[in-house]
């Protein structure tokens, strides 16, 4: 079977029959072609790759980046994800917040000195709260990719899912650089809309003090065509290249800490609350 890259999103990848790292080779982790889940995931990407255009992304920035949708603390946002029922995954049988704590604890075990990194593990998927406020799944979850330039071959399902996207045949937007200049920096590139970019915007809006490396992890952890596929390097500047190893380091924990051994969330709360209080305290605007 072909191994497909579906991004770090647990809602798209977790299955009780997929064993944790200790039991399975990493390459087998996300291999579920031929299953009912595969079809559902494919349909989510089909919708995403049809409707995520440059124009759509610009509209989403206007809609969400002003952070006018809710006021809540970071811990409340993490807990709110447990209400999220992912239409693409009927098999998830534990709360979404467990993935947050598992990722954070995996990072803590190997990077005990980097509390901001641990916090990034905890909060990285919190932007999925958009789905609770009506945003369709295909604009919240899954791998991301730049819009405004050619959709590269490294994007999952690239061959089959972009045919109805008008940007795919646009004379400018389908060129290698599209509307961008070579090495313009990812900061100047518009990504397909999803929970990465949204949480990054929330962090900036609320003046959270997570270091630059952590903000990169938040903003680009679903950009698999880049951190896994090595494409879009022609748009990267020196800063992006310097940050890439951090995004890759984060990805190890996002993907491979999933386990049937669930964390004792209530015992862990006080420690992670102290990190929230340090880097993104109080009531935040979403
Ligand atoms: Fe995740
Ligand atoms: Fe994610």
Please tell me the predicted confidence (pLDDT) of residue 9: 46
β-strand partners of 191? 146
56 lies in a domain? yes
Look up the domain containing 230 and give its range: 10-285
Q: How far is the CA of 8 from the centre of ligand 2 (A)?
A: 6
On whether 219 is known to bind a ligand per the annotation, the reply is: no
42 lies in a domain? yes
- What kind and span of H or E run contains 13? helix 10-13
Q: How far is the CA of 124 from the centre of ligand 1 (A)?
A: 6
29 lies in a domain? yes
Alpha carbon distance 70, 164 (integer Å): 34
Alpha carbon distance 202, 208 (integer Å): 9
DSSP string for residues in 176-220? SSTTSPTT--GGGSPBPSSHHHHHHHHHHHTT----HHHHHHHHH
Q: Are strands 71-73 and 283-285 parallel, antiparallel or unpaired?
A: antiparallel
Alpha carbon distance 199, 195 (integer Å): 6
Alpha carbon distance 191, 33 (integer Å): 27
1 lies in a domain? no
Q: How far is the CA of 125 from the centre of ligand 2 (A)?
A: 4
Domain count of the chain?
1
135 lies in a domain? yes
pLDDT tens per residue, range 144-180: 999 999 999 999 999 999 999 999 999 999 999 999 9
Q: How far is the CA of 97 from the centre of ligand 1 (A)?
A: 10
Q: Is the dihedral of CA 165, 147, 9, 286 positive or negative?
A: negative
Q: In the structure, what pLDDT confidence band is assigned to residue 8 with cuts at 50, 70 and 90?
A: very low
Q: How far is the CA of 149 from the centre of ligand 1 (A)?
A: 26
245 lies in a domain? yes
Average pLDDT over residues 84-105: 74
63 lies in a domain? yes
**DSSP classification of residue 171:** T
φ, ψ at 25 (rounded to 5°):
-65, 145
Q: In the structure, what pLDDT confidence band is assigned to residue 93 with cuts at 50, 70 and 90?
A: low
pLDDT tens per residue, range 197-253: 999 999 999 999 999 999 999 999 999 999 999 999 999 999 999 999 999 999 999
């Amino acid at each position: 079977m072909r191994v497909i890259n579906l991004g770090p999103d647990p809602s798209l990848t977790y299955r009780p029959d997929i064993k944790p790292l200790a039991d399975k080779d990493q390459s087998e982790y996300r291999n579920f072609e031929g299953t009912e889940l595969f079809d559902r995931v494919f349909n989510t990407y089909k919708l995403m790759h049809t409707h995520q255009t440059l124009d759509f992304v610009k509209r989403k920035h206007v809609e969400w980046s002003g952070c006018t949708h809710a006021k809540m603390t970071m811990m409340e946002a993490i807990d709110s994800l447990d209400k999220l029922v992912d239409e693409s995954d009927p098999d998830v049988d534990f709360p979404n917040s467990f993935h947050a704590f598992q990722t954070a604890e995996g990072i803590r075990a190997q990077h005990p000195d980097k509390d901001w990194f641990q916090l990034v593990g905890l909060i990285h998927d919190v932007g999925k709260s958009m789905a609770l406020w009506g945003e369709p799944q295909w604009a919240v979850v899954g791998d991301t990719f730049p819009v405004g330039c050619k959709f590269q071959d490294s994007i999952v399902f690239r061959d089959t899912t972009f045919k109805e996207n008008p940007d795919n045949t646009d004379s400018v937007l389908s060129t290698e650089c599209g509307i961008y200049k070579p090495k313009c920096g990812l900061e100047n590139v518009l990504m397909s809309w999803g929970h990465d970019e949204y949480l990054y915007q929330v962090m900036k809006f609320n003046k959270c003090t997570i270091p630059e490396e952590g903000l990169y992890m938040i903003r680009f952890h679903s950009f698999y065509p880049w951190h896994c596929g090595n494409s879009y390097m022609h748009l990267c500047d020196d800063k992006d290249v310097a940050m890439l190893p951090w995004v890759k380091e984060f990805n190890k924990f996002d993907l491979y800490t999933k386990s049937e051994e669930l964390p004792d969330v209530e015992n862990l709360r006080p420690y992670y609350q102290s990190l929230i209080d340090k880097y993104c305290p109080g009531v935040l605007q979403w």
